[in-house]
C-alpha cells in the first residue's frame, strides 16, 4: 500500500496527484489523504464531511483505494499552527492504516507539509514535486523564505524525490536530494478515445473556425497579450477554466465579451472532451517566469490526447517532449501564425492518429507504471499488520 498525502481533495479538481494515484491503484492499494478540514472550513471545501467533531472520515472509493479526510485545528495552515497539523495528519493516517489492517510500503507527500517524518524502517518516503514551491510562493501569497525552509526539510526527509520537469529535477539534485527521478505529468488518454462519438460542447456552437482552445486556469501564469492577439486576428477563442479575479480584472472581462470569444468558466473533467471536440487547436499561452519554466503543463498533452494540434510558448517541458507535433511560439505574431498553420492540418487523419499515439506514450498509466517500478511495486503488495 502507498499513502498519498494529497495537495487537493479527492472531490476537487483532478490534478497530477489524483490522476497518478488513480493509476497507481493498478499496482498497489492506495490510501489517499485529503488536505485536512477544520470546524472553520467553508462548506464548499468540505465535500460532505461534517463540521462537527474531530473524527476523521475514512471511505472506500474503489476496490483498491480508500480516502481519508483528516481533521485539524482552525487556521491549520498558519505558520505556528501547521506543526500540529502535520502531527495530526501523520497520526490520523496511521490510525486509518490500523483500521484497514495495512502497513505501507511507501508514503508520498504532494506538498511541503511535514508528513514524511516518523515512519518505521522500510517505508520509502517520497516527495512528489509538481511545482517550484519557492517560485510559486508569491503566487500563493506565502512567505518565500519560510517556503524555502520547508522545502529543505522535506528534501532532507525524503528517500526519493519525484520531479515532473527537468528544471525541478536539476534544482533538487543540486540541493542534495538523496535520489531524484524525473516522471513528468501525463494524460488520461482513455477520456479521448471515443471523442468522435461526442457532440461538440453547445457553448461553442456560435464560434467560427478556426477555434483555438485554452484549457486551464486564467491567472498570472497566462500571457494575456497572446490571447488578445488571437482574438484581434479574427481567430475564435474557447476558454475553459476559472479566472483569478486578481489577474487582468479589466482586460479579461472585455476580452470574453467579444463575439469571437467564449469563456465557460470552471468545468468538471468529464466535460473537457466535449470542449476539445469543438476546437481546432489547443494553446498553452504561459508567460516566461521561473514558476512556469519549472512546470509541465497538463493541457499540452491533453490536446494531443484529443488528437488536436498543440501550440505552446517556449517551455523546457516542450523541449523535453521533443515532438514536431507541438509548435512553439513566443510573440503574439508567432502565435497567430502557428495557430493558423496548425488549424489548417487539424483534421488530417494521419496527424490525428500520430498525436493520439504520441499521447499514449505519455499516459498516466505509463507514468504510474514507472513510479511503481521505481518503488518496487510492480506486483501488488498486500502488506498487513
Instruction: Measure the CA–CA gap between 34 and 21, rounded to whole angstroms.
Output: 12
Greater pLDDT, 198 or 229: 229
135: CB partners within 8 A, 6+ apart? 289, 290, 291, 294
Instruction: Give me 339's grid cell.
Output: 495557430
pLDDT at 381 over 80: no
Instruction: Measure the CA–CA gap between 175 and 336, rounded to whole angstroms.
Output: 40
Instruction: Measure the CA–CA gap between 93 and 115, rounded to whole angstroms.
Output: 10
167: enclosing H helix or E strand: helix 166-174
Three-class DSSP category at 203: helix
12: CB partners within 8 A, 6+ apart? 18, 47
42 DSSP assignment: -
DSSP string spanning 361-381?
A: TTBHHHHHHHHHHHTT-SS--
Question: 293-305: b or e for each residue (b if 16 or more CB lie within 10 Å)?
Answer: bbbbbbbbbbbbb
pLDDT at 204 over 60: yes
Please tell me the predicted confidence (pLDDT) of residue 14.
83
Average pLDDT for 149-162: 97
What number of residues does the chain have? 385
Percentage of the chain modeled with pLDDT above 90: 81
The string of pLDDT tens digits covering residues 34-56 is: 999 876 666 555 565 655 556 89
- pLDDT bin (cut points 50, 70, 90) of residue 141 is confident
Q: Using an 8 Å Cβ cutoff, are 165 and 296 in contact?
A: yes
Q: How many CB atoms lie within 10 A of CB 291?
A: 19
Of 380, 271, 376, 385, the C-alpha closest to 30 is: 380
What are the start-end ranges of the E strands in the chain? 2-5, 30-33, 57-62, 65-69, 106-109, 124-129, 160-163, 180-182, 211-215, 236-240, 261-263, 281-284, 310-312, 326-328
Residue 2 exposure: Cα atoms within 13 Å on the Cβ side: 32
The string of pLDDT tens digits covering residues 218-264 is: 999 999 999 999 999 999 999 999 999 999 999 999 999 999 999 99
- pLDDT bin (cut points 50, 70, 90) of residue 380 is low
Amino acid at each position: 500500500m502507498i499513502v498519498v498525502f494529497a495537495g487537493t481533495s479527492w472531490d476537487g479538481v483532478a490534478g497530477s496527484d489524483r490522476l497518478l494515484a488513480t493509476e497507481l491503484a493498478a499496482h498497489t492499494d492506495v490510501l489517499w489523504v485529503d488536505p485536512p478540514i477544520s470546524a472553520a472550513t467553508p462548506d464548499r471545501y468540505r465535500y460532505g464531511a461534517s463540521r462537527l467533531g474531530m473524527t476523521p472520515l475514512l471511505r472506500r472509493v474503489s476496490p483498491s483505494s480508500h480516502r481519508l479526510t483528516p481533521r485539524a485545528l482552525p487556521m491549520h495552515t498558519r505558520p505556528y499552527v501547521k506543526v500540529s497539523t502535520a502531527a495530526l495528519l501523520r497520526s490520523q493516517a496511521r490510525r486509518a492504516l490500523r483500521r484497514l489492517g495495512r502497513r505501507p510500503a511507501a508514503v508520498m507527500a504532494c506538498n511541503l507539509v511535514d508528513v514524511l517524518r516518523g515512519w518505521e524502517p522500510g517505508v520509502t518516503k517520497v516527495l512528489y514535486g509538481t511545482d517550484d514551491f519557492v517560485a510559486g510562493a508569491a503566487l500563493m501569497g506565502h512567505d518565500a523564505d519560510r517556503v524555502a525552509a520547508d522545502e529543505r526539510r522535506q528534501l532532507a526527509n525524503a528517500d526519493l524525490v519525484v520531479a515532473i520537469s527537468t528544471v525541478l529535477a536539476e534544482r533538487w539534485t543540486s540541493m542534495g536530494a538523496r535520489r531524484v527521478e524525473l516522471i513528468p505529468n501525463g494524460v488520461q488518454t482513455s477520456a479521448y478515445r471515443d471523442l468522435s462519438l461526442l457532440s461538440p460542447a453547445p457553448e461553442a456552437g456560435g464560434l467560427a473556425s478556426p477555434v483555438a482552445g485554452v484549457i486551464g486556469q486564467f491567472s498570472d501564469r497566462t500571457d494575456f497579450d497572446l490571447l488578445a492577439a488571437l482574438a484581434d486576428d479574427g481567430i475564435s477563442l474557447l476558454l475553459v477554466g476559472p479566472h483569478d479575479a486578481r489577474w487582468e480584472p479589466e482586460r479579461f472581462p472585455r476580452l470574453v465579451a467579444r463575439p469571437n470569444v467564449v469563456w465557460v468558466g470552471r468545468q468538471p473533467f468529464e466535460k473537457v472532451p466535449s470542449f476539445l471536440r469543438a476546437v481546432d487547436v489547443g494553446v498553452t499561452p504561459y508567460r516566461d517566469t521561473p514558476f512556469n519554466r519549472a512546470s509541465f503543463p497538463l493541457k499540452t498533452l491533453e490536446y494531443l490526447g484529443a488528437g488536436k494540434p498543440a501550440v505552446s510558448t517556449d517551455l523546457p517541458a516542450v523541449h523535453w517532449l521533443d515532438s514536431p507535433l507541438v509548435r512553439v511560439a513566443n510573440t503574439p505574431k508567432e502565435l497567430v501564425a502557428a495557430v493558423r498553420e496548425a488549424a489548417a492540418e487539424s483534421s488530417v487523419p494521419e496527424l490525428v492518429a500520430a498525436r493520439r499515439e504520441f499521447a499514449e506514450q505519455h499516459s498516466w498509466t505509463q507514468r504510474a507504471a514507472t513510479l511503481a517500478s521505481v518503488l518496487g511495486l510492480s506486483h501488488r503488495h498486500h502488506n498487513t499488520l
